Each structure stands twice: as structure tokens, then as C-alpha cells.
Structure 1
């Protein structure tokens, strides 16, 4: 009977782990290095299945869904409510996918017209602490790590059958309920979770280009200096996809000026990124 009980428990845990679950994190950020009082807060999803997990912005998903419906309906950008889209602006324009079998972490981010993908090449070396507390309904344990130029403190729980967390964080013997850097500039706080039918497929407008992390960083810098080269060629010499809805009447000089001004403003607003190294 004891063996049957153990087997039943193992099967139950396997069934729970195989379900698709969404964990909603509140992400708090201070992305502007010159204005630390400018605090950005938005929700992000960590969707977990038996094979992988996907971390992405709630606003980005909503924006992409609106664009996808507009283009599928054949009406293009003209039908899109600009005010609604502005309300869905996100500071989390990337997504992070973790493969459970290979333990690979894939980071995806848009530069210009295209999506750049790289596999994270830096391991997370956690230092476990015996310190425990309670966050919400979960009993949590402390762990710390140095990653990408920041010192991070995580609180994880074994009350849930997952060894995962928001962003690139994971590898602890439980789900990360909270993780923040020692300067209080970035934090991820679990708010709620619920079951979902399946993991979403994020819309990938433009080309998907696989690169090494170092090459991604080089392309980022190149984009900041000359954004128009990415808008015209797709970046790095790759052909750009055709533009929906024409747009051929725009003055090239005015267009270049607008893009460059917008890029500089974006760079200023994101001068304190989550990864400093």
C-alpha cells in the first residue's frame, strides 16, 4: 500500500507539472539613469508547460494581438487606434524562453525591423541561504547571485512544482516568488497564477536572426548610432520585409530625423538597463 501511495503521489506531481500555468509578475523598473524617480510598473507573464516556459510583457502581447488582427483583416495600420496603442507601451520589449530538456535560455529582442535571438551563455550561480519567510501564501527561502552587473536576491518556494522564475532567472529548487537587485532598480513580484489552455505564440514581425550574445550587443549599439540603416535594410545587411500600407510619400530626410530623434529619446529613457554588463 505504501508503494502504491508513493506511485500515486509521483503521478499526481507529474500531472501537475504537465499542466500549462501562467504566473503574473509585477515588474518595477527605474530604466532612466538620470531620473531614478521615474518608476515604471507593468505586468509580465511567465507561462510554463511541461516542455518549456516563456516570459513576456502583457502589454507587448496585447499590442501584437491588435496589430495581427488589423493586418489579418486587410485594413493595415490605418484602422489601429493610436491612443490605445500608446496606452500599451512597454519597457519589456524582449521575451525569454527556457527549454526544460536542454536547459537552454533564449533571449529575443527587436532591433529595428527584426527579431534578434541569442542563447544565454552565462550561468546563474546561486548562493543558498537558510533564511526563510512568507510572501503572500507561500513559504519562501532566500538565494543570492551576481548576474550581468547586478547583485540579485531571490525568494523561492517549493510549495509549487516548478523550478523557474521571471526573466532569465531559474535553476533554484522551486519557483521564484520575488527577485530584486540590491539597488532597488529592478524587481519582479509574483501577483497571481492560473491555468491556461496552451502557451501563446508571440507574433514575430520581420526576420528572426540568430546571433551570439556579443553580436546582439554590437547590433544594439549600431542601431543607437544609425537607426535608419536598420529600418532600410533590416539591420546587418539583411533585406527588410515590405512595408504594409505603402508610406512612400514620406520625405526621406524628415523620416530619418524623426526616427533618429525617437531612437535617442528611447535610449535616454532606457539608459539604466536591467543588464549592466
Structure 2
């Protein structure tokens, strides 16, 4: 009986450690360098399993859920448009860290396609002696220079994960808070709980997943910022032309297409104009 009890306890302990932990961070962003009073705030998840971790926007998983329910109920994108509008996010990327391979993979959607690259810049932390308390955790200070910004992090050994939000990891505990010296970006741990397993972050919409080197992703990103409309429409299938006036749906169709394109151009240009302060400057 004693052996059975020990085995049962081991199974319970194994199950506990096999669970996925979700850490919810509040992400604060100043995306427009010309208007520093415009502060964007939203939540993001850091889901940690024994094999890997995922960092992504809370609204991303909510959008996927809304679309999944719409498909199951027979509805289409139009039926959930208002819900999707309310779940827009400024965190359009996902970061996946593989614990065994010690790799950090970054995914971001540019135009119709999603670009994937493996981070090739190591994080070199300087751990300082300064300590304090954030929430319920005793934390210690660390600093690093990464991607053109100087970052200060506070980590806790109370949570035995050498991980953190975004691409940050490699400290002797979980990062509870990390912010850059300019005050443009901040990640603050709000709460954590257990979930059954890592979610399946699916590819949205048309387009492909394109694996590239980081330097090639940076080139594509620069092209998108300079001319988002051309980037969005490159390689996109052209709608069929029908009707006497050469547009979809007959007379006036061409004019409708031109108006739609004009609205898209204005929206993309405005979004690009006000998103001029990226998290990575180099």
C-alpha cells in the first residue's frame, strides 16, 4: 500500500509540473514618437510549458475564438465584424522560445504573409545587487542592451522559469517587469494561472508563412513602412472583371473598387505614420 501511495504521489507531482502556466502581462506602448501622450495599453500572455513558451496578444486568442465560433455556427466574417473591431491589437507578433533547442522564433504579419525568423542576437544580462518587492514577489534588478534600447528588468527566483515577456529570457527566474530607459515600452506581470495546454496559434487569412533570416525580415519590414499599399497588394489575386463598365457586379463596380482601394491607402498610411516608434530600433 505504501508503494502505491508513493506512485500515486509521483503521478500527481508529474501532472502538476507538466501543466502549462499562463502569465498575464500588461504591455504599455508609446507607438507614436510625435505624440508621447498617446499611450497604448493591452494584455499579452506568456504561456510556459515544459518544452517551450509562447508570447502573444490576449486579443489574438480572443479573435481566434470569435472566428472559430462563427465558423461553427455557420456565420462568416461579416457577422462578427464588430467583435473583431473591438479586439484589435498593437501586438501583431508572436514569440516562441524552445527550451531544448535554446532558440527564439519571432513571427509577424506583413501584408498578406507571415514572416518567421530565428533571433540571432544573444541577451547579455548584467545582474545587479539591488532588490525590491513588486506585488507579492521579491525581485532583483538586471540590465541589458538589446535592439537599440537599454532595458531594465526585475526578476524573481520565486517563480523558477528563466523566461519573460517578448524575447526576454535567460535570468535566474521569471521576469516580473521589464522596461526601456526612454519609457516607451513596459511589460508588467499582472497575474498567473494554469491552463491545460499551449494554444494553437493559427495562421489568419490568406498568405503564407515565410521563413527568413532576421536581416531579410528587417528589409521587408522597411518596404512595408515606406509603401504599405503596394506591399499589401503585391501578389494579391485581382478580382474578376464583369459587366459592361468593367467592374465587379456590373456598372459602377470599377468605381467601387477604386473607392475601396483609396480608403485602404488612407488607413494604411495613417497607421504607418502613427506607428513610428517600434520596440526594436536596430
State the TM-score, normalized to the length of structure 2. Answer: 0.84
The 3 A distance-change label for structure 1 pair 267 and 139 is: same
The aligned counterpart of 2:35 is: 35
- Consecutive unaligned residues of structure 2, counting only runs of 5 or more, are 1-9, 240-246
Task: State the structure with more CA Rg.
Answer: 2
The aligned counterpart of 1:4 is: none
Residue 86 of structure 1, CA deviation: 2.3
Give me the CA root mean square deviation: 2.4
CA distance in 2, matches of 1:210, 1:160: 33
Secondary structure at the aligned position of 1:223 is classed as: helix
Secondary structure at the aligned position of 2:215 is classed as: helix
The aligned counterpart of 1:69 is: 69
Residue 264 of structure 1, CA deviation: 1.3
Q: Give a deviation string over 1:84-138, Cα, whole Å, max 9, x none.
A: 3222111111110000011111111111111111111111000010111111111
CA distance in 2, matches of 1:114, 1:72: 25
More relative contact order, 1 or 2 (CA 8 Å, 6+ apart) = 1
Residue 69 of structure 1, CA deviation: 3.1
The aligned counterpart of 1:54 is: 54
Residue 265 of structure 1, CA deviation: 1.1
CA distance in 2, matches of 1:191, 1:182: 21
CA distance in 1, matches of 2:36, 2:110: 25
**Are 1:97 and 2:65 matched, yes or no?**
no
The aligned counterpart of 2:169 is: 170
Q: Give a deviation string over 1:147-187, Cα, whole Å, max 9, x none.
A: 01110000001111211000000011100000001111111
The aligned counterpart of 2:225 is: 224
CA distance in 2, matches of 1:116, 1:203: 14
CA distance in 1, matches of 2:85, 2:53: 28
Residue 13 of structure 1, CA deviation: 8.5
CA distance in 2, matches of 1:135, 1:225: 41
Residue 63 of structure 1, CA deviation: 1.7
Report if aligned partners of 1:17, 1:162 keep a CA contact under 8 Å in 2. no
Q: Give a deviation string over 1:48-71, Cα, whole Å, max 9, x none.
A: 000000000011221232223334
- Consecutive unaligned residues of structure 1, counting only runs of 5 or more, are 1-9
Residue 248 of structure 1, CA deviation: 5.1
Secondary structure at the aligned position of 1:129 is classed as: strand
The 3 A distance-change label for structure 1 pair 76 and 125 is: same
**Are 1:253 and 2:258 matched, yes or no?**
yes
Report if aligned partners of 1:228, 1:260 keep a CA contact under 8 Å in 2. yes
Moved over 4 A (4+): 10-17, 239-242, 247-250
The aligned counterpart of 1:3 is: none
CA distance in 1, matches of 2:136, 2:248: 56
